[in-house]
Amino acid sequence: MPKINIKATLRGKDDTLCSEVTATISKNTLKYIEEDGTKMSFNYNTNKLIRDTKELRMTFDFEKEKLVIKYKELDVHMDLKMELIRLEKDNYNVEVEYVLDNTHEKEKLIYRIEEQKWVF
State pLDDT tens for residues 4-19: 999 999 999 889 999 9
Residue 41: closest CA among 52, 30, 26: 30
Mean pLDDT of the chain: 92
* Type of residue found at 120: F
**CA distances (Å), origin 91, targets 13, 23, 25, 28, 103:** 28, 14, 12, 11, 36
pTM of the model: 0.90
Taking the mean position of all CA atoms in its chain, how far away is CA 30?
Answer: 10
In the chain, the percentage of residues whose pLDDT exceeds 90 is 77
Measured CA to CA, the distance from residue 94 to residue 79 in angstroms comes to 24
Other Cβ atoms less than 10 A from the Cβ of 96: the count is 21
- Determine the pLDDT at residue 55: 95
Confidence grade of residue 103 (pLDDT, cut at 50, 70, 90): low
Confidence grade of residue 120 (pLDDT, cut at 50, 70, 90): low
